[in-house]
C-alpha cells in the first residue's frame, strides 16, 4: 500500500513538473543548463594575435589635446591599453591657429605652432597620428556653416588650389620635422562623416569626392609612400561609390575608413534628447564591418585596408551605456565578432574630455570616454586593459566569447566574458535604462581547463570587471549621483574599483599539465585569467 501510494505521488509530481516545464520554458532551461566550459590546449597555436583592437583610439578635437588633463589621460591610456594611434577632429579649425589668410604678396600665412605642440607630445609618449584633415579654416571656407560650440566650419573650400597648397605645406612641414620614415607609418584621412548632409559637410557626395582627390594628391605629392584614405562616413556608407570614384578618376587611395555605432536610430544626438536604443541585433557593429569587407573584396581594389575610425555602443556623448558595466563585455563581444575583417577599430573615445556639445557639468554624464573627468576608469577601460595583457600568440579556441593566448615566456592568458543584451528593446531608451543600478542575473559557473601546460609553479591572478567589480558608475550611483564629486568621493570610487585580483596565489601544475579553475558567472561579467611561470 505504501509503495503504491509512493508511485502515485511520484507520477503526480512528474506530471506537475512537466506542466511547469511546458508553461515556463525558461525555468526548465535553467534547471537543465550546465556550466559553461572553456577547454584550451596551450600547445595548439592558431597564429599571431590580431591586435586591431588597440591599433587606434579616438578623441574629440585637436585643441583639447593641448590641455594637461587630456595629455595625462592619453599617456595613461596608452600605457595601460597599448593604443598605437590617435584620431581626432578639428586639426585645421581656427582654434588651432593654422591659417591666417595671405600677405600683401598673396602668399599664404600658415602657423603650425599649436599642431607642433600637440604632435610633439604624441612623439614623446610613442603614439602615432591617424590624421583627420578637417575642418575648413574660415579664411578658406566657401560658407559660414559650422558645427559644435567650437565652430568647426563644414563647408567646402572656396579655392581648391589653396586648400591643396595648405595640405601639401602641412605634410611637408611634418616630413621636415619628424622625417619621412615616421610619416610612412601615419595614416591620412580626408574629412569626417561627409554623408551627414549639413551636419559635417554642406556639399554633396560629388563635392566630397573632389575634396578627397585634391587632398590625397597633395599628400602623395610630398611622398608617394604616405597612406591616404576615406571616405570616413557615418553608418558604413559610400564605400563602393568611393572606391569606384578612386579607380575611375585615378585618385590615390590606400585604405577605406568609415564608422558604426550599435544603436537602432539616428546618428548625431549630442545631448541624448532623441533617446538612443541599443540594437538588439546579434551582429550589430560587426555585421556592418563584415559587409564593408565584402564590398571591398568585390571591388576593383580588393586589397585595401579597412579602418573603422569610430565605433562604440552609441553615437551620443549623453548615453549612460558608456558609463555602465555592460560596456566592457559589449566591447569585447563586438571586437571578437569582427575578427580579421578590419585592420583597426578605433573606440570613440579614450576620455570624457570631449566638448562637442559644450563643457559637461557632471562627473558621469554618459560621455564617450574610457576615463571620466576625474581620472576614474570606467568598466570599458578595463576591457581594453585586459585585451592589452594578452600574449602575442593566439591559441586554438572554440569558445566564441573568449581569447586564449600565450607569450614567448610560457605565460598563458585567458580573457573571457558573458555578453547578455539586457536592454528591454523599443519600449525603453538607453537614457532611462542604463542610468540606474542594474543587478545582473546569475549564469551559473564558468569552468576553465588548460591542458598541456609545462609542469611547474605559476602565479595565478584572476581579474574581474562586471557589476560592482571595476564598476565605477554603480559606485557613483551609491553616492547618490552627486552633480560634483569631492576629493574623498573620487578617492572612494577609485579605491573600490582599483582592479585588484579576485584570486592571487601560487599554484603547481603537475606532470599531467592540467590547470582547472571554476568561477561564478553573471550577465556581462568579464574575467582576465593570467598564469605566469615562476
Q: Which grid cell is 323?
A: 558609463
Return the closest-CA partner of residue 185 out of 35, 342, 28, 56.
Answer: 56
Matching residue, cell 566650419: 153
Residue 361 dihedral angles phi and psi, to the nearest 5°:
-105, -5
Positive or negative CA dihedral for 152, 156, 157, 161? positive
C-alpha span between 13 and 246 (Å, rounded)? 72
C-alpha span between 187 and 174 (Å, rounded)? 13
Return the closest-CA partner of residue 122 out of 163, 166, 181, 78.
Answer: 78
CB 315 within 8 A of CB 193: no
Q: Which of 132, 288, 310, 327 is catalytic?
A: 310
Catalytic, 176? Answer no
CB 285 within 8 A of CB 333: no
C-alpha span between 126 and 473 (Å, rounded)? 31
Residue 23 dihedral angles phi and psi, to the nearest 5°:
-80, -30
CB atoms within 10 A of CB 415: 22
Pairing state of beta strands 442-451 and 36-41?
A: parallel
- Within 126-196, where are the H helices? 160-178, 180-183
DSSP three-state, residue 388? helix
Q: Which of 132, 189, 193, 333 is catalytic?
A: 193
Name the DSSP class of 427.
T
Catalytic, 310? Answer yes
Q: Which grid cell is 484?
A: 560634483
CB 300 within 8 A of CB 228: no
* Catalytic sites, residue numbers: 193, 310
Amino acid at each position: 500500500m505504501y509503495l503504491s501510494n509512493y508511485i502515485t505521488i511520484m507520477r503526480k509530481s512528474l506530471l506537475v513538473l512537466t506542466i511547469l516545464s511546458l508553461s515556463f520554458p525558461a525555468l526548465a532551461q535553467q534547471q537543465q543548463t550546465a556550466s559553461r566550459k572553456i577547454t584550451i590546449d596551450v600547445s595548439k597555436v592558431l597564429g599571431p594575435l590580431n591586435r586591431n583592437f588597440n591599433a587606434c583610439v579616438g578623441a574629440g578635437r585637436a585643441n583639447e589635446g593641448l590641455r594637461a588633463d587630456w595629455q595625462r589621460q592619453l599617456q595613461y591610456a596608452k600605457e595601460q591599453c597599448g593604443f598605437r594611434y590617435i584620431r581626432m577632429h578639428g586639426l585645421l579649425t581656427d582654434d588651432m591657429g593654422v591659417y591666417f589668410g595671405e600677405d600683401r604678396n598673396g602668399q599664404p600665412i600658415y602657423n603650425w605652432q599649436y599642431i607642433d605642440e600637440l604632435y610633439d607630445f604624441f612623439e614623446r609618449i610613442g603614439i602615432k597620428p591617424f590624421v583627420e584633415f578637417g575642418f575648413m579654416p574660415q579664411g578658406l571656407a566657401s560658407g559660414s556653416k559650422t558645427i559644435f560650440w567650437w565652430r568647426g566650419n563644414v563647408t567646402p573650400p572656396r579655392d581648391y588650389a589653396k586648400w591643396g597648397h595648405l595640405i601639401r605645406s602641412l605634410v611637408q612641414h611634418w616630413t621636415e620635422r619628424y622625417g619621412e620614415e615616421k610619416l610612412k607609418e601615419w595614416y591620412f584621412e580626408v574629412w569626417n562623416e561627409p554623408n551627414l548632409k549639413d551636419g559635417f559637410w554642406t556639399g554633396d557626395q560629388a563635392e566630397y569626392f573632389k575634396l578627397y582627390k585634391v587632398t590625397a594628391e597633395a599628400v602623395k605629392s610630398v611622398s608617394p609612400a604616405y597612406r591616404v584614405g576615406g571616405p570616413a562616413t557615418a553608418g558604413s556608407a559610400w564605400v563602393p561609390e568611393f572606391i569606384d570614384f578612386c579607380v575611375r578618376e585615378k585618385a590615390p587611395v590606400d585604405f577605406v575608413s568609415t564608422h558604426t555605432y550599435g544603436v537602432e536610430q539616428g546618428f548625431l544626438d549630442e545631448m541624448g534628447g532623441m533617446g538612443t536604443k541599443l540594437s538588439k541585433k546579434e551582429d550589430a557593429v560587426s555585421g556592418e564591418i563584415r559587409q564593408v569587407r565584402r564590398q571591398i573584396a568585390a571591388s576593383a581594389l580588393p586589397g585595401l585596408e579597412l579602418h573603422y575610425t569610430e565605433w562604440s555602443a552609441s553615437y551620443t556623448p549623453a548615453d549612460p551605456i558608456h558609463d555602465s558595466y555592460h560596456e566592457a563585455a559589449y566591447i569585447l563581444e563586438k571586437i571578437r565578432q569582427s575578427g580579421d575583417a578590419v585592420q583597426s577599430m578605433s573606440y570613440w573615445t579614450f576620455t570624457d574630455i570631449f566638448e562637442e556639445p559644450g563643457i559637461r557639468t557632471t562627473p558621469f554624464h554618459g560621455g564617450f570616454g574610457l576615463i571620466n573627468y576625474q581620472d576614474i576608469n570606467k568598466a570599458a577601460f578595463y576591457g581594453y586593459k585586459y585585451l592589452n595583457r594578452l600574449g602575442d600568440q593566439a591559441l586554438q579556441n572554440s569558445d566564441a566569447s573568449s581569447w586564449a593566448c600565450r607569450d614567448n615566456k610560457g605565460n598563458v592568458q585567458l580573457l573571457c566574458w558573458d555578453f547578455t543584451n539586457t536592454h528591454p528593446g523599443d519600449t525603453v531608451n538607453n537614457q532611462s535604462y542604463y542610468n540606474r543600478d542594474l543587478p545582473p542575473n546569475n549564469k551559473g559557473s564558468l569552468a576553465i581547463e588548460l591542458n598541456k601546460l609545462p609542469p611547474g609553479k605559476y602565479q595565478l591572478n584572476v581579474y574581474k570587471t562586471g557589476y560592482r567589480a571595476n564598476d565605477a558608475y554603480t559606485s557613483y550611483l551609491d553616492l547618490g549621483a552627486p552633480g560634483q564629486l569631492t576629493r574623498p568621493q573620487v578617492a572612494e570610487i577609485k579605491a573600490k574599483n582599483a582592479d585588484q585580483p579576485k584570486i592571487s596565489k601560487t599554484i603547481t601544475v603537475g606532470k599531467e599539465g592540467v590547470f582547472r579553475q571554476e568561477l561564478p558567472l553573471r550577465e556581462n561579467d568579464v574575467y582576465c585569467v593570467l598564469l605566469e611561470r615562476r
